[in-house]
Amino acid sequence: MGSALTLLFVVCFNFFLFRIVPSDPLAHMLRGRNISREVQDNLRAAFGLDQPITTQFVYYLRETFRGNLGISFHSRQPVWDEIVERIPATVELLGVSWLFAAVIGTAGGVIAGWRRNTWKDRLITSSTMTLYSVPDFWLGIILLTVFSVVLGWFPIGGMQSVGVRLQGFEAFLDHLRHLFLPALTLSLAYMGEYTMVTRSSLVEVMSEDYLTVARAKGLRDKVVRNHHALPNALLPVVTLAALNLGFILSGAIAVESVFSWPGLGQATAEAIRGPDYPMLQGLFLLFSASVILFNLIADLLYMYLDPRVEAS
Amino acid sequence: MTVRSMTRSGAPGVSAAGSFWRQFRRSRQGMIGLAILVAFGILALVAPLIVDPAQFSPVVARTLGNPQWAPPSEFPPLGTDHLRRSVWAQFVWGSRVSLTVGLAATAVTMVIGTAVGVIAGYRGGRLDSFLMRITEWFLVIPFLPLAIALASVLGRSTRNIILVIGLTSWPWMARLIRSQVLTVKQRLFVDRARSLGAKSGHIIRNHILPNVSGLILANATLWVPISILSETTLSFLGLGNPGNPSWGKTLEEAFANGAMTRNAWWYFVPAGLGILTVVLAFTMVGRTLEEIADPKLGKER
């Protein structure tokens, strides 16, 4: 219920956001082309731009809920079709990175938290902090220059090699070679969050009495960690992973541009260059909706996993 | 020396600042971060003395007779770009723009966030639930897509970038400060002031704000790196001001003009390292301030 209300807020906000600054969408679309007054007026009427803003708002609401997000200025295709076409590439790249970031990041956090203030902890914590301080796309630029330009191990960008016909397993390998660097960049960029959350959650759990009891029973260190500490310490990590799934569509806007990965991020960068307002509007709506949806899922998941939390 | 003379002056506020500084000085992480920030601060301040922004115009760079795509060995200290402009000059100027945007955007965030947080927390009741509902709505909207939408609607200028970052990131601050105000409000001295007939404005200024100011300062310091990174990403996506190049803008131009495929590393490495260093330094100082403001944190870490 709360989520539905939030979504409605975002839909309304989206309409007014793009109307803060008065501008003529038609002028953007025609971009200085010489078109007679009459044709312009007809177009204005066809797009409903001659109507008062309240009528436009009602029209916008109706069409948005029907799945009509307007026409892209750039391609003249429906925004919805343009977006849907780009979703698989982004979901693939971000999905792989999400998985690697969660697994490796959490493992790092467990090592650092369980052996706090050792050299391992210091190494993991300081490299996490450094990765946190780097813009993700710059990391991508560096990796691309080193591994593709200088060493030539990986392709420069895109999803598959152009100009060669590859079949079956060969095509799959070629695709993996294209996926590797962007996925590595994003995994490194997202890992730190899991490491920090896991570490601090584990540190908190370690001070609880039931762990002292487990140790006093003479259980081995590994057993205490894996069977007593981790099940509780990993609860916030599971929620974090669920929350981050909400960013699976919008999480690689700049990195996709660096690697020319033909997904939603690259579409956003192209739409900014226009600027292609209908496209930006559609993308904004989709990105927000996915975050809201996974917020809800994360809440439900947390309630299910931790009976101490009551439905609020 | 200065610390001691400050404590002797007797004013409670000054002595609190003195003890704050004494604690800060003991942290190695905090002092290293502070030293880096002072160095970059000086560089940003004297930038107009070292660099004339006119040389960012391709016409001027050509008349200067600079070579194109020159590596640092040919054109010290950092080489030139596709338009024959000195990369070192862009780095120095970029430090000024990136720091200004980072600090100014954080200031906008803090002002809105503190205002909403203090009013909601202190007043409570309906106003509180109303403000918090709005805050929650803005919290779930993903930051970068919102900033992109807002920046592309408002147009490309340094002022708009500052506004966009400030307007999109206040909800976090508002929520944090509200929870702090709620704890301070429960304390006895607030009740005493109220029973003595103090007005709300007086209580907020003299009792609430001084008690949350340490935390506000720590969070502001931790917010600057986030603002700098946001500016970098927005500029990289082409939403920055081309006439006033930040580090992010330099990275955009390097990328758009194929510095990577030419392996012209001198064009994109310095700006990135600049961002990394400044962001890391702000984080180090911010974490130290946080540990002093909230001593429980230090023990847990």
Splitting chain A (312 residues) into consecutive groups of 10 residues, what average pLDDT does each group show? Answer: 82 84 68 74 76 84 86 85 93 95 94 89 92 94 94 88 80 91 95 92 84 82 82 86 89 93 93 87 91 88 75 46
Question: B225–A133: do the CB atoms touch at under 8 Å?
Answer: yes
Question: B137–A269: do the CB atoms touch at under 8 Å?
Answer: no
Indicate the helix (H) or strand (E) that contains A146: none
Residue corresponding to tokens 């709360």: A2
Which chain A residue lies closest to B264 (C-alpha atoms)? A145
Question: A17–B149: do the CB atoms touch at under 8 Å?
Answer: yes
Residues with Cβ within 8 Å of B232's Cβ and at least 6 positions away in sequence, in order, are A135, A138, B98, B246, B247, B248, B251, B275
How many domains, in total, are found in chain B? Answer: 1
Question: B153–A20: do the CB atoms touch at under 8 Å?
Answer: yes
Indicate the helix (H) or strand (E) that contains B81: none
pTM listed for this prediction: 0.88
Q: The domain containing residue B93 runs over which residues?
A: 28-53+74-300
pLDDT tens digit sequence for B217-251: 888 999 999 999 999 999 999 998 888 889 999 99
For chain B, how big is the Rg over CA atoms in Å? 23
Please tell me whether the peptide bond between B48 and the residue prior to it is cis, using omega within 30 degrees of 0.
no
pLDDT at A276: 86
Residues of chain A with C-beta less than 8 angstroms from the C-beta of B273 = none
Q: Which value, to the nearest 10 degrees, does the dihedral of the CA atoms of residues B137, B141, B143, B149 take?
A: -110
With respect to residue B23, please indicate whether it lies within any of the assigned structural domains.
no
pLDDT at B101: 95
What fold, for A85-311?
MetI-like fold (1.10.3720)
Looking at the complex, does the CB of residue A268 fall below 8 Å from at least one CB of chain B? yes
Which chain A residue lies closest to B270 (C-alpha atoms)? A138
A 110-139 residues with CB < 8 A to B: 129-130, 132-135, 137-138
Contact present, A93 and A100 (Cβ < 8 Å): no
| In chain A, beta strands by DSSP E | none
pLDDT at A22: 65
* pLDDT mean by block of 10 residues, chain B; 301 residues: 38 64 90 96 93 83 85 87 90 94 95 92 89 88 90 89 92 89 82 82 84 85 94 93 88 92 93 96 92 65 44
3-class SS at A226?
helix
Cα B171 to Cα A243, B227, B290: the distances in Å are 18, 14, 20
Residues of chain A with C-beta less than 8 angstroms from the C-beta of B146 = 284, 288
- Report the C-alpha gap between B78 and B220 in whole angstroms: 33
From the list A6, A156, A254, the residue facing B233 with the nearest CB is A254
With respect to residue B14, please indicate whether it lies within any of the assigned structural domains.
no
Which chain A residue lies closest to B133 (C-alpha atoms)? A6
Helix ranges restricted to H, A221-261: 221-223, 230-233, 235-245, 253-258
With respect to residue B11, please indicate whether it lies within any of the assigned structural domains.
no
- Report the C-alpha gap between B212 and B141 in whole angstroms: 27
Indicate the helix (H) or strand (E) that contains A2: helix A2-17
B249, with CB counted inside 10 A (0-12, 13-18, 19+), is buried
Question: B141–A10: do the CB atoms touch at under 8 Å?
Answer: yes
With respect to residue B69, please indicate whether it lies within any of the assigned structural domains.
no
pLDDT at B10: 38
Domain residue extents for chain A: 2-65, 85-311
Best of B40, B144, B262, B284 to disrupt the A interface (most A CBs within 10 Å) is: B144
The pairs formed by B52-60 with CB atoms below 8 angstroms and a separation of 24 or more are B53/B93, B53/B243, B53/B244, B55/B85, B55/B86, B55/B89, B56/B85, B56/B89, B56/B90, B56/B93, B56/B243, B56/B245, B58/B83, B58/B84, B58/B85
CA distance B238 to chain A (A): 7
3-class SS at A16?
helix
From the list B141, B236, B268, the residue facing A254 with the nearest CB is B236
CATH number, position B253: 1.10.3720.10
Residues of chain A with C-beta less than 8 angstroms from the C-beta of B233 = 135, 137, 253-254
Best of B260, B265, B267, B301 to disrupt the A interface (most A CBs within 10 Å) is: B260
For chain A, how big is the Rg over CA atoms in Å? 24
